[in-house]
Homo-oligomer: A and B are copies of this chain.
């Protein structure tokens, strides 16, 4: 069996890979995120790719330095990045509670789009390497939240580490009327698309 490495510190991405029954390691990318694109789908692909490449680089370096210690095996590195887009604005994580209030007021009563970019780097024990990068979009219809509801939600502390200042898998669930697309893409990792895109390449995620 090869090794699967999740290049993300997000507990929600880790839970999703656990949910589908994978065995994997976690090695979060630490590099600064540099966005040069302003189209949401391109931006998340770029950021996902940066994360996956940073961690894949460490694997290769480690392998080269410890050749006598490491049994060569196939390695798959999965990087991901999620943003919320509303109109022309791209929403990342809120800077503070005031920013969270602003973001939630924007999204309240409206439909926004959530983009997750995924970059999968395949490093074969034979030395071959490849990268597969794509993104998924899900539209989310949020119910109207009044000012009291927004303040109460912010007081839970949940918005602060999340793109768009909300967690669909947390207490914000009561304000999500419906989605059109993949739910797990909103949570942060479109596991269906990962399985599907690898299958197209003839790779069974469970037999990696």
Q: How far is the CA of A175 from the CA of B171 in the complex (A)?
A: 26
Point out the residues of chain B lying under 8 angstroms from A208, CB to CB.
none
- The stretch from A2-10, A99-107, A179-187 touching chain B is A179-187
A19 at the interface (CB under 8 A from B): yes
How many copies of this chain sit in the oligomeric assembly? 2
How far is it, in angstroms, between the C-alpha of A175 and the C-alpha of B206 when the chains are bound? 14
User: Chain B: which residue is nearest A172 at the CB level?
Assistant: B20
B173 touches A179 (CB 8 A): no
Q: Which B residues are CB-close (under 8 A) to A14?
A: none
Query: Contact: A182 with B192, CB < 8 Å?
Result: no
Minimum CB distance partner of A205 in chain B: B174
Q: Which of A84-107 contact B (CB under 8 A)?
A: none
Please give the distance in Å from A125's CB to the nearest CB on chain B: 25
Residues in B with CB closer than 8 Å to A19 are 169-171, 173
- Could you give, for residues 190-201 of chain A, a 1 whenever the CB lies within 8 Å of some chain B CB and a 0 otherwise? 011011100000
Number of interface residues, chain A, beta carbon within 8 A = 31
- Which of B143, B156, B192 touches A175 (beta carbons < 8 Å)? B192
A150 within 8 A of B: no
Task: Give the docked Cα–Cα distance between A19 and B174 (Å).
Answer: 10
- Complex Cα distance, B193 from A175, in Å, reads 9
* A177 CB–B CB distance under 8 Å: yes
- A169 — which chain B residues lie within 8 A by C-beta? 19
- Least CB separation from A158: chain B residue: B21
Are the C-beta atoms of B191 and A16 separated by less than 8 Å? no
**19 pairs, A vs B, C-beta closer than 8 Å:** A16-B173, A19-B173, A20-B173, A20-B174, A138-B178, A152-B206, A168-B183, A173-B184, A174-B192, A175-B192, A176-B183, A177-B182, A177-B196, A178-B181, A178-B182, A179-B182, A179-B183, A180-B180, A183-B183
Q: Which residue numbers of A lie inside 8 Å of B, CB to CB?
A: 16, 19-21, 138, 143, 152, 156, 168-171, 173-184, 191-192, 194-196, 205-206
